[in-house]
Structure 1
Amino acid sequence: MAETVDGPPPPAAGVPGLFGPGFVADPYPTYAWLRAHAPVHRATLPSGVEAWLVTRYRDARAALADPRLSKNPSRHSADRHASGRVGIPGERGAGLMTHLLNIDPPDHTRLRRLVSQAFTPRRVAAFEPRVRELTERLVDGFAGRGSADLIDEFAFPLPIYAICDLLGVPAEDQEDFRSWAGMMLHTSGKRGGVGRAVKRMRAYLAELIHRKRLEPGDDLISGLIRASDHGEQLTEDEAAAMAFILLFAGFETTVNLIGNGVHTLLGHPAQLALLQEGLAAGDDRLLATAVEELLRYDGPVELATWRFATEPLTLGGRSVGAGEPVLVVLAAADRDPERFDGPDTLDLTRSDNPHLGYGHGIHYCLGAPLARSEARTALAVLLRRLPDLRRPGDAPEPRWRGGLIMRGLRSLPVEFTPEPVTERQ
């Protein structure tokens, strides 16, 4: 529960390292300081927007489920100019705002219920063989070489091809999607580049939805078009916005989950060996808890998406004014020692692990089951086929992308013993 009295402001010296050099590479010391000294802290972001950062687990969990924190910047942001600098660049101009990350009940309730009909656990389970096929094919592309960039050659293309298949994007168009996704990923700090990619994607989705209305198939876009609830259906703009956010949110989070996860494992050889022993023995039971721990320890989503106070409220002892932005720092909450034993220790066997990596409450990530399935498959195939996977001895320090919400590696060079050609046939 939120406190009912104002807490003290942070020390006058300010927050050490917040958004400064080295912060993107390792934000956790700064987040530890915030949890201890300023658990709900008003900060000026690199974009110039001022927002409250929530870093303790109990406050974060409460904020994620608080109906007084709206997801709709157009309606509830106190700073109309700032509302154009939050969210996904280009989505407003492209008519893609009506998706689950930008709306509140009752519209959110209606849309989520409609979309859930097309995005069922059964569909995800039925899709797992295709994910494995895509994973094996990607590993085939570099397994005989002895080295690879696991971001560019594996973690990036896998979720793109998977979500394209799931949405029903024809094979001949999937390279266009890969190009647009690459623009969004590699220009994540430049809103103009992302915005251009979003506009191109929107034009394509409008055409694809029109084709699916005429010739529906057994794919997610066709399912979105067919979905109905008491006679209500998604409008074309709603269907396009939902397809877009499933692609946008579904690919970058999984790129980072796989990339950050493998990087973490390579830095913890004892934990990696534990996972490999089980896989070598044909026992993949540890995979499930391993993925959850990787999500907690260094997850793909650093901050939850924007929220705005619909009325004055108190959060973690600080007064938040109506219309002020609130950002829940998932990465900080998931290392809170008040909730997790040894939070800075990687423990793939951790069973008490209610992390917030995919959110909490009504906005819990709809695509989380697919992302988990892709991560489990990616790790199982990669570690089974390349058991001595390692960072090169002369590898430079990793370079990170930090687009405020997401955090992931730009590249991940690795070495391994090449697979004999016969094994790859």
Structure 2
Amino acid sequence: MTDTRQPGTARPYPFSDPDRLNLDPLYARLRRQEPVTRVRLPFGEEAWLATRYADVRTVLGDPRFSRAASVGRDEPRTTPYQIDSGILAMDPPDHSRLRRLVAKAFTARRVELLRPDTTEIADELVDAMLAAGPPADLVEAFSTPLPVRVICRLLGVPVADQGLFRTWSEAIVSTTSLPPERVVEYLANLHAYMAGLVAERRREPADDLIGALVRARDTGDDRLSEQEMVELAAGLLAAGHETTVTQISNFVYVLLTNPEQLALLRARPELVPAAVEELLRYVPLGAAAAFARYATEDLALGGVRIRAGDPVICALPSANRDGEVFEDPDALDITRGANPHIGFGHGVHHCIGAQLARMELQVALRTLLHRAPALALAVDEKELEWKSGLLVRGLRALPVTW
């Protein structure tokens, strides 16, 4: 794209509207020439944008950059409203206290125990899809119900209620897809729904994550408030399915439109874990950088001076295409060896559900490769419709045949 910024002014950001899963080429130029640049988002104060891998890791991992400092500030954002980000707007030790309550549910060992059930669910969904015959919308038939059923089982949420919480969860990822009053309404509905489940667990204790949070709130030493518990449970429900739903379809789309890589994966299914890591690096899930960190002191970053109180946002998809870290970064290579991508973030706010998402994505790809080896797009790629007005990029539908 053409950079129309006036000398001495902040660049308008995002640089362009999301174009499928293509990354704006301006990121590559900035990584080379101006890795930390001044930007103005549609709402909030001006910010610095970090585009290089090393600088992004610094901002996400250095305690001199604070999320808690965003509270009470006119945070740079793509939404016309500001939402209480809960645990995402906390620093240690408050952040550590809440995260510790749920971390045990997402360890690699606990997640591996869920793999057989997840595989069973995936097989059931593919059975139904194949029985109905082609074409099928993979988003509705497979990509959506798989993570929804898994997170429901983990938390203890009735799958039958998915029509409700799937609708309300859009408020978590909406930028302009919903009007501000609808966002407030949906968040209130989601929190009220979770409060109802919390009350149910008090009446009838259960061995699920909501039950564990209730026990921690009522008998533990972590001083979890009622509001914190409800918001944490709601956030886990929404985040626990929303991005994985999107990524399953994104990953399948990328493979179907990269036939050589797909053929290699079909021939060597043992590459599925490496393929998932490469797709996490390659796919620019975020439509724009968000969740500013505020410098708590003057410091240098990417050749510029960041003043105490300045907000910095991080372009994770750009960092994952940094040629200083990844060889041939714009190429999809499922045989890539060391892959230190930051698709799940970095530092204290590294995605707590990363292991769960990895497992689900691996199961999804393995199941589709095995059960539908001739899977292909049922329409021309140009006919696919992409979502808009959201924090994440994803397909509205993915018509496939086999």
Q: Normalising by structure 2, what TM-score?
A: 0.87
Corresponding residue for 2:245? 255
Matches of residues 212-291 of structure 1 in structure 2 within 5 Å? 212-227=201-216, 231-279=221-269, 285-291=270-276
**Counterparts in 2 of 1:347-358, with a 5 A limit?**
347-358=333-344
**Match among 167, 173, 177 for residue 155 of structure 2:** 167
AA aligned opposite 1:316: G
1:244: how far off?
1.6
> Deviations 1:62-102 (Å, cap 9, x if unpaired)?
1110112111255463x3xx47x67896853xxxx432x11
Which residue of the other structure, out of 94, 107, 110, is the alignment partner of 2:94?
A: 107
> Which residue number corresponds to residue 343 of structure 1?
329
The alpha-carbon distance between structure 1 residues 400 and 127, as it changes in their structure 2 partners (threshold 3 A), is same
CA distance in 1, matches of 2:138, 2:274: 22
User: Cα offset for 1:163?
Assistant: 1.1
Deviation sequence 1:326-352 (CA, Å, 0-9, x none): 211110000000110010111111111
Matched, 1:298 2:283: yes
C-alpha distance 186-87 of structure 1, shift in aligned 2 (>3 A):
closer
Q: CA deviation digits over 1:180-233, x for unaligned, max 9?
A: 335666776335233322211100111111111222211111122234897224
The reply to whether residue 201 of structure 1 matches residue 202 of structure 2 is: no
Q: Give the aligned residue type for 2:110.
A: R
Aligned-CA RMSD value: 2.9
CA deviations on 1:161-182 (whole Å, 9 max, x unpaired) are: 2212211012443332233335
Q: 1:149 to 1:297 in 2, by over 3 A?
A: same
What amino acid is aligned across from residue 238 of structure 2 in structure 1?
F
Which among 120, 132, 136 is matched to residue 107 of structure 2?
A: 120
1:176 to 1:133, Cα distance in 2 relative to 1, 3 A: farther
Alignment TM-score, normalising by the size of structure 1? 0.83
1:308-327 map, 5 Å: 308-327=294-313
Contiguous gaps of at least 5 residues in structure 1: 1-9, 280-284, 417-425
Distance 2:391 2:308 in 1: 22
> Where do residues 22-41 of structure 1 align in structure 2 (5 Å cutoff)?
23=19, 26-41=22-37
Change (3 A) 1:152 1:347: same
Segment drifting more, 115-124 vs 181-190: 181-190
- 1:3-42 aligned at under 5 Å gives the runs 12=7, 18-21=14-17, 23=19, 26-42=22-38
Aligned length: 393
Q: Say whether the 8 Å CA contact 2:16–2:24 is kept in structure 1.
A: no
Between the aligned residues of both structures, percent identity stands at 46
> What is the aligned partner in structure 2 of residue 392 from structure 1?
378
- Matched-pair contact (CA < 8 Å) for 2:70–2:292: no
- Secondary structure at the aligned position of 1:407 is classed as coil
Instruction: Give the C-alpha shift of residue 360 in structure 1.
Output: 1.2
What amino acid maps onto 1:114 in structure 2? L
- For the 8 Å contact 1:40–1:316, the answer to whether it is kept is yes
Matched residues in 2 for 1:89 and 1:240: separation?
22
**Partner SS state of residue 232, structure 1:** coil
Secondary structure of the equivalent of 2:48? strand
Distance 1:300 1:203 in 2: 29
- The DSSP-based 3-state class of the residue aligned with 1:247 is helix
> Which 10-residue stretch deviates more, 397-406 or 63-72?
397-406
